[in-house]
Structure 1
Amino acid sequence: MGSSDTGLNNDDDSATVSDESNTETDSDMRTETDEECQSSHPPSVFVNDEKVLAFHSGQYYEAKVIRALYEENKWGFFVHYTGWNKTWDEWVGTDRLLKHTEENVQKQKALKERLEMEMKTKAVQAPQMKMKNSGVSRGRKRKNDNLNKEKDLVPLEKLVNLQIPPTLKKQLVDDCEFITHQSKLVKLPRAPNVQDICKKYCEYRSKKDVMMPESTAEIMKGLRCYFDKALPAMLLYKSERQQYTYAIRDDVSPSMVYGAEHLLRLFVKLPELLVHANIEEETLAELHQKLVDFLRFLQKNQSAFFLSRYHVPEDSEANTIKQDH
């Protein structure tokens, strides 16, 4: 889960392993028994097994109340998000839940649409990836454009459907778990950073293709541009923003500070971003092929590019995370 759509297939249990013990541990942490909870206190707004809408990372998701508990003069609810792995189960307060009514479902849809519109607005401001078309003369291209511009466009949703490999999906889930549940951060600056990874990919392609297409280097340049623009706008969790303000100073590009962990988040957002870029069919097909190959490259070098552990932030960072949560 994330702001707007995380891009993960929320029904894909292959992205993470269901952890029954986590659920039991969270429940066991609550020391009061149900009988003890029946002392004098205000009635609960929500009950066990009730279908609700739960607020998480900027959106409302369908969920079910697993357990209701009155503790420290307030009600808490252990919820399971419908269609999501049990590792996402969590305790929430009354302020994060809505009754599952038709009116609230409409509010849920309206909020989702508003977030999507905001994302589209940001996408328009992002730089377009530029590539050179091979085998198409400029004169012919201009003639086709003048005859029918619409024919030069493609059903973008099909060609930019980037299938993230299962092991990288698991990486995204672990990334979210470290930051949102364990209050950890990626230690910055990263090595290799995004710029280094893009260079390594170009070197990798040049070894496989003696005459590496010029478009490969341009795509990597465009990818870095997208990353630099998108990172502060849509790739950071709330608890990472303070770290960003300290890390990005003196006109340093995010692609020179952040690494594969945040770059992979960009691939979740790329399909929506590219929908709003006016890219021709032939160019977009080649772009799609290169991006899929780049994902395979990340997967092949996963142990070298990605952190297996995140660090516990310093006192100032930790305080910021607690306040954000």
Structure 2
Amino acid sequence: MANDKDKDKVKFLYQDGETVLCYHGPLLYEAKCVRSETRNKAPHYLIHYSGWNKSWDEWVTCPRVLKYNEENLKKQQELLATHGTSKIASKIKSNSRKHVNSMLEKNADLEKLTQEERENKKKKQKVEDSNELIDNYKVQSEIAIKIPQELQKILLDDFENISNNKSIKEILDEYTNFKLEKKFDKNIITEIVEGIKDYFDTAILCRLLYKSEKSQYNELTKNSTKKPNEIYGCVHLLRLLGNFVHFLTIK
């Protein structure tokens, strides 16, 4: 808790008891500055949202609070038009006087009830308030994000690589069958393909894996009877082919 001496050193834009507008999610709500304090050498305000249960009171900093004036009320309506719903709109459009009158009416009704009935009514109202605010949060949390086509293509390629990922052995076996259908010499094709598989199994640990992948390699091969070309897929085959191109370019 800051003392009065600390408070004097910090400039407070809002006075205790002042009506303000405060951000809660993407919207601005009418609220009251209940109390102000200096925390970490910065002004903090205890905010009570008009018409909300006190359990929603919170300490906020300056960026979330705005003066209650015509300009900021217009901004409130613009945000409401963009992000709001009819349920939220009815709450925001109710001014503080209506909230106060409503509260007074409820208090008057409560006075006529027995103690047990008052407690039950308060509990019921608290649950209704909480459910309404939860519904509001669900609506406010829906944010539309437009993903550019270039990024969508990357996501689709990633999906294809993960969902339809074949092992190097399967890819090379398909290549062999394709070449044999084209009447290529079986012995030559088989020798080339088997040579690529053998080279991959030999080179993968020392030439084709990033440092962070080597521990994964140890886990994958530790208790497996499969060869690396039966475990790894097209991405690592491309690394091998890129390695060939680099080697041939140097030569």
| Coarse TM-score class (shorter-chain normalised) | 0.3 to 0.5
TM-score of the aligned structures, taking structure 1 as reference length: 0.28
Q: Which has the higher helix share?
A: 2
Max radius of gyration: which structure?
2
TM-score of the aligned structures, taking structure 2 as reference length: 0.36
The structure whose RCO (Cα within 8 Å, separation 6+) is larger is 1
